[in-house]
Structure 1
């Protein structure tokens, strides 16, 4: 599951569900909420995602909308392509949009591996002022390297992240990006990212503003830790997350014997398989760092199917 509750708040705003509004309602102060747009086959009466999008564009002052959360877009087997095309095609009506979540779908509605994503490149091309993009689901997900001068937060949550997507992120020109979080998942659900795919990210040449890096939920979490231990970008980070992947003592040893991490404010290692002795070593060596060692005894990735 996601570590963020997009249904209640998003981008610092309370979330309002479009399909739950009375049919005759109209919210003029549209900048005060994050608009959640969703359609499920189980809603009564069911409303296709196109109809819900129509209601949003008719009843919101879209010139003021700053945040949108896209939930289920119908049957879990349907692709997000139609939603992406609609939003991209309506970009001129959304000049203030700064934050967008695509795929706020919880386990009760669909396992993360069942979410059918598509090419998210058009969103970044259509919204050059977008500052935050959150994507959930890796099946069918695609991305072409882009230059984007405004994006500050990029989070991709998957149970299996294809290496081509990781390489596209790494090859992008994202000069303003401050927060990058990638969930890699497992090979059985499409995960094909390798440590070598992460090399440009770990060098940091294209990410001069990065302050938070999350390389998480990986079968190869120890290998990531070993690469991070000597990565040039780490010296510029304020927070680092290597959580959700069952980190073992081998990976933690690499962190302790690598470059100093004492400059970090936070080191997130939750959902790990570290020994008691190694946890003590970490907390002693990083006494001034907030180290999250919760969910002890978890040898596998946290999110896969």
Structure 2
């Protein structure tokens, strides 16, 4: 599976594309009614992202903007968004109402998720201490050194492979308001070199007292993640546990069921899995019958067997 659709909303606001350089900007909607997507272009862009952003700042009352979506920038497959970060940091005084920011909203026709180059995005969180939602797509070159942010409620990192350094940076950060954490761990083929041990600071919950929704998904090591989650202290306070999109087999699911009770959850999401029918039935009897919503949709989780008996399984989003 690839990313085929742009974000349709952010911060509970519908997404709106800021017009290109040849379009009218005298009939734009109210600044606080939409999440504004600003894009340049990956190939043969009419203007650079920073030029589009400058036009946006002139055309829109930025003091009322609540959500921004950073779309394509020029040659994203070869260039990181350092200039984007610098422009947003420099404009911080112009966006006092900004509460949500997503960097890298590109679909497969623009740039494969594994090709999107990123950089250190923490200067954005430092520049905008009132941000409540922050998201990023693409793990190549992504950095996230530990920081403190007291307002952030939702953190999303989508990648075909999330670097271990980033996972450890998130775990070492002080995020006392965080309620929703979504990490696409990915595969080593695309830079996802973390191990289950790297998740321990997150799973302890020590720095995440308000966490209610935890997604550790799209992982090649989903069995090891499930085993670690089985005894994780943070689980007792969760409402949603999401271990979907990865290579979850009977081994990992059995470890999860053998651990602490999960019947307090509102939802357990395991879609895109490699579980036997017997294990799925066991999950339904153990958890779903207790009123927990359980997603066991296999989606496109297919396996391939070579002539030598080797079985290949795939995460939902890789390249």
* Common fold by TM > 0.5: yes
**Partners of 2:5 and 2:107 within 8 A in 1:** no
Alignment-derived partner of residue 292 in structure 1: 295
The answer to whether structure 1 residue 173 and structure 2 residue 174 are counterparts is: yes
Matching of residues 108-257 of structure 1 within 5 Å: 108-257=109-258
Gaps of 5+ in 2: 303-312
- SS at structure 2 position matched to 1:161: coil
On the 8 A contact 1:228/1:255 being kept in 2, the answer is: yes
Contact 2:43 2:75 (C-alpha < 8 Å) held by counterparts? no
1:221-259 CA deviation, whole Å, 9 max, x = no partner?
000000000000000000000011120000110111110
| In structure 2, C-alpha distance between the alignment counterparts of 1:8 and 1:89, rounded to whole Å | 27
1:65 is the counterpart of 2:65: yes
Return closer, same or farther for 1:5/1:162 CA change in 2, 3 Å cut-off. same
Aligned equivalent of 1:282: 283
Indicate the SS of the match to 2:47: coil
What is the CA distance between 1:27 and its match in structure 2?
3.6
Asked if the contact 2:4/2:108 (under 8 Å) is kept, the reply is: no
Q: Distance in 1 between matches of 2:130 and 2:4?
A: 23
Distance 1:242 1:41 in 2: 32
The 8 Å contact of residues 179 and 211 in structure 2, kept in 1 or not, is answered as yes
2:307 alignment partner in structure 1:
none
Q: Is the 8 A contact 1:39 1:47 kept in 2?
A: yes
The answer (yes or no) to whether the contact 2:2–2:108 under 8 Å persists in 1 is no
What is the TM-score of this pair, normalised by structure 2?
0.91
**Paired residues of 1:6 and 1:69 also in contact (CA < 8 A):** no
Quick one: distance in 2 between partners of 1:250 and 1:90? 50
Once the two structures are superposed, what CA deviation does each residue of 1:99-123 show, in whole Å capped at 9, x if it has no partner? Answer: 1010000111111111010001101
d(CA) in 2 for partners of 1:16, 1:23: 14
* Number of the residue aligned with 1:25: 26
The answer to whether the Cα contact below 8 Å between 1:147 and 1:172 also exists between their aligned partners in 2 is yes
TM-score (norm 1): 0.95
Q: Give the drift of 1:41.
A: 4.5
Once residues 25 and 7 of structure 1 are traced to their aligned partners in structure 2, the CA distance between those partners, rounded to angstroms, is 25
1:85 — aligned with what? Answer: 86
Shift of 1:74: 1.3
Distance 1:158 1:170 in 2: 17
Paired residue total: 304
Is residue 315 of structure 2 the alignment partner of residue 301 of structure 1?
A: yes
- Closer/same/farther in 2, CA of residues 28 and 17 from structure 1, 3 Å limit: closer
Deviations 1:37-87 (A, max 9, x none): 0111557x7121121111110011000000000111111212111101110
How big is the shift at 1:207? 0.2
Report the equivalent of 1:56.
Answer: 56
Equivalent residues of 1:27, 1:61 under 8 A apart? no
Paired residue for 2:8? 8
- How far residue 8 of structure 1 moved from its aligned partner, in angstroms, is 2.7
**Does structure 2 retain, via aligned residues, the 8 Å contact 1:7–1:36?**
no
Where 2:185 maps in the other structure, the secondary structure is strand
Q: What is the CA RMSD across the aligned residues, in angstroms? A: 1.7
